[in-house]
Amino acid sequence: MSTPPAPPQAELLDRPFSFYPPIHGVENNEWRLKEATWSEMLVRNTQDDVEVAIPRRYFGAVSETDKPVMIVGLNQELEYRMGGVWPVKKNVFSMPSSPLKPPPGYKSTPDPSEPTGLGAMMGVSSEGTDTRISRLIGVSFLGLISIVFVIWAVIKFTPETKPTFVAKDQSYLELNREDDYFSVVRKLGPPSEDHWRPNSGELQYRALFFKDRGYAVILMGTKQEDVHYIGAMGLGPDGKGWAPLHSVDYARGANTMGMLRSLPRF
């Protein structure tokens, strides 16, 4: 039995080298010989923490120069995985069949018993095509009627969709954020009721009820002597409602509508 050739450890000892082709799965391709036997060579990557034994049969020729780096040839592409090297297996892809080739079961002449045209697309025979179309039209018509009925029911029975109560007059539209209690009284007359909101904290709220007009004027400020108009609340046909009718814009573009919507009746 012949003795396997000795690995070229003398040429690689204490010298960095690179494999060609590079080992797949290891980004850096600079190695150093760590140990050599008659059957394999143990090499270590200079940057990655990779140490692997490569069988001697995969080694090929070594370059005669080490400028810029010594090259160690591999007679087969190798891949690093699971702590060892393995030959790279290249997948062989079969060529797709010609698009001009008819598929299996293709018939050059149609079967007279099979449906064609619209019947073939809808999955029915030519005798049942008219019946299927009539049925689809009927179902579509019934579906349209159902949608119209649902929309009518939502409009009819949802309170939010009913028309909002409109006050008996719209004199509140003459008010603005500069109006205080006295200017409101000059424009609208004395209120039927005058309420201060209790426990209102830093902001003071005043409601001037004009029940004959159907709304209440809301004043707000940090002090009771310095409250000004922020909007009007509709009282509804029964006088028990409380919904914003009018709001004003602040100097910086903000509006009081959100504040009025969250303001409880007092």
Q: Is residue 124 part of a domain?
A: no
Q: Is residue 246 part of a domain?
A: yes
pLDDT class for 160, splitting at 50, 70, 90? very low
Q: Is residue 229 part of a domain?
A: yes
Retrieve residue 205's tokens: 């709220």
pLDDT of 25-41, one tens digit each?
A: 999 999 999 888 888 99
> Could you say which of 87, 118, 148 is where a domain stops?
87
pLDDT class for 175, splitting at 50, 70, 90? very high
Rounded mean pLDDT, 228-235: 96
Q: Is residue 4 part of a domain?
A: no
Q: Is residue 79 part of a domain?
A: yes
Average pLDDT, the chain: 83
Match 């809808």 to its residue by tokens.
122
Retrieve residue 23's tokens: 């080992």
Whether the pLDDT of residue 87 is over 50: the answer is yes
Alpha carbons within 13 angstroms on the beta-carbon side of residue 249 total 3
Using the CB atoms, write b or e for 149-176: b if 16+ within 10 Å: eeeeeeeeeeeeeeeeeebeeebbeebe
Rounded mean pLDDT, 64-92: 86
For the full predicted model, state whether its pTM sits above 0.85.
no
Kindly tell me the sign of the dihedral angle through the C-alpha atoms of 207, 208, 211, 214: negative
Q: Is residue 139 part of a domain?
A: no
pLDDT class for 93, splitting at 50, 70, 90? low
- When divided into structural domains, the chain yields a total of 2
> Could you say which of 61, 87, 113 is where a domain stops?
87
Whether the pLDDT of residue 78 is over 90: the answer is yes
Domain that holds residue 232: 171-261
In the chain, pLDDT over 70 holds for what percent of residues?
Answer: 78
Q: Is residue 31 part of a domain?
A: yes
> Could you say which of 62, 87, 112 is where a domain stops?
87
Kindly tell me the sign of the dihedral angle through the C-alpha atoms of 174, 178, 179, 182: negative
Match 């209440």 to its residue by tokens.
216
Q: Is residue 150 part of a domain?
A: no
pLDDT class for 163, splitting at 50, 70, 90? very low
